[in-house]
Structure 1
């Protein structure tokens, strides 16, 4: 496998394929990643989505965001509003926003209710129009990086590359006859793993409270209903058919029981609690070290 590494959207990427990606494909990947960031980043004041935080009311976004918002609709409902893309304002209040000041600006505050404050619909042009009834900061990070992994993977496989691994930090999608063994990193010790999973023809996404932490008890996984960082769960890993779904479910597992998600989604998981206990689906039995 030949690899291409680069940094984008604040994380390290590595794309591997059975042959080196040609120059046109690399250029197309770069444009896709840049366009996604320009449309959806809450860390860029010039992004399309950032207009909603300034009270613009309605913004027009690429057509692929319909799948993303549909997923958020489901996960908001299944978590009882605890996972909500309007959590961006709550994150910024705790210091995690443009400029990365990483200093709380006030007490935690819950996000506006997604299904009450937001409306989205496909436009005739194939784009998506997202409307908020008040100024708010939308954060699609809970599933957006996974979706971008999918879009990059689809672009590359659509150009004839069969064996492909797209790895954006903790979000991966694989295709090809040879599986890939992936270590599940210990959230409290970067030199250790709690197990190894075999990835083949699916996506694997992980989330941990130590990955974006900036103070005592402050990290990026919030309960949107209260605006406070979660405490009980320390890390999650999800295997699903696509990275967007796996990424979204990896966040949802901090906020609700797996059985509520399994009623509507097909996935395998491991989640590690803050006290060191681990819980996993039956298909993941045997992947954890004793």
Structure 2
């Protein structure tokens, strides 16, 4: 049996599909509870890491006083830790700081506050103290849109698994992850095109994996938010990455859009995470 629910979350439409075998110990109520719990964790992550809400963790970081300790939601600290890792291994290609300042200056991130000239220097000004606390050298403007959506999908999958769901697909506006033996049909579409991208050879279905796509363009705020450093112009129009988890797939697309045709460090990290990449010009 196939179950399907959808909710507007994370600035997009999030859909959850659950498949249950004909013979199962799960009843209808169990599946509904599992899906509601998965939506709840996505909504929670969206709230605490919002760059639009003045009471979110990101808003509090943007108003932090110098050399202060902040207690944050565990999900926020987990994503900040991952963001620091990917900023480091990508050589700054992934940087949620510079993008946040630019978007704030355009008025696109009303929840953030640029309280000091040093806002936006980077994640090197933040030190993780524990699963719920960080220390910052100064106020930080951050936009985690390039990594938080993939993380939210992974957390939703974890919640479904905890509730006994073994076959499901979570789709957050193109960032998606599948568990279970079922092969979910997959069509990758560009945001500005109405036809399927025919260059995605070998990517027709999703099974026990995650996939994310990022599209370049001046009218794509998510691209501007996620591709922060902008140290070089790129001719890539889109990047799609398949990986074991959605956070990894999500962040690798942002790196892939900026890199050259031959980027040893990107290739190394794709191999390290068992990921595949498709890019179009």
Same fold (TM over 0.5): yes
TM superposition shift of 1:128: 2.7
Contact (CA 8 Å) 2:95, 2:229: kept in 1 or not? Answer: yes
Equivalent residue number for residue 114 of structure 2: none
Paired positions, count: 254
Counting only pairs closer than 5 Å after superposition, residues 1-290 of structure 1 correspond to structure 2 as 1-19=2-20, 22-56=31-65, 57-87=68-98, 88-98=100-110, 111-115=120-124, 117-122=125-130, 127-194=131-198, 195=200, 196-210=203-217, 213=220, 219-224=224-229, 230-257=233-260, 258-264=263-269, 265-266=272-273, 267-273=275-281
CA change 1:8–1:223 in 2 (3 A) is: closer
Question: More deviation in 74-83 or 160-169?
Answer: 74-83
- TM-score under structure 2 normalisation? 0.79
| Residue aligned with 2:140, SS | coil
TM superposition shift of 1:51: 0.7
TM superposition shift of 1:212: 5.4
Q: Which has the higher strand share?
A: 1
CA change 1:220–1:51 in 2 (3 A) is: closer
1:220-254 CA-to-partner distances (Å, cap 9, x unmatched) read 4434266x9x5422111111111111111111112
Equivalents in 1 of 2:158, 2:16: separation in Å?
12
TM superposition shift of 1:65: 4.1
The alignment yields a C-alpha RMSD, in angstroms, of: 2.7
1:76-101 CA-to-partner distances (Å, cap 9, x unmatched) read 123322321213112222443238xx
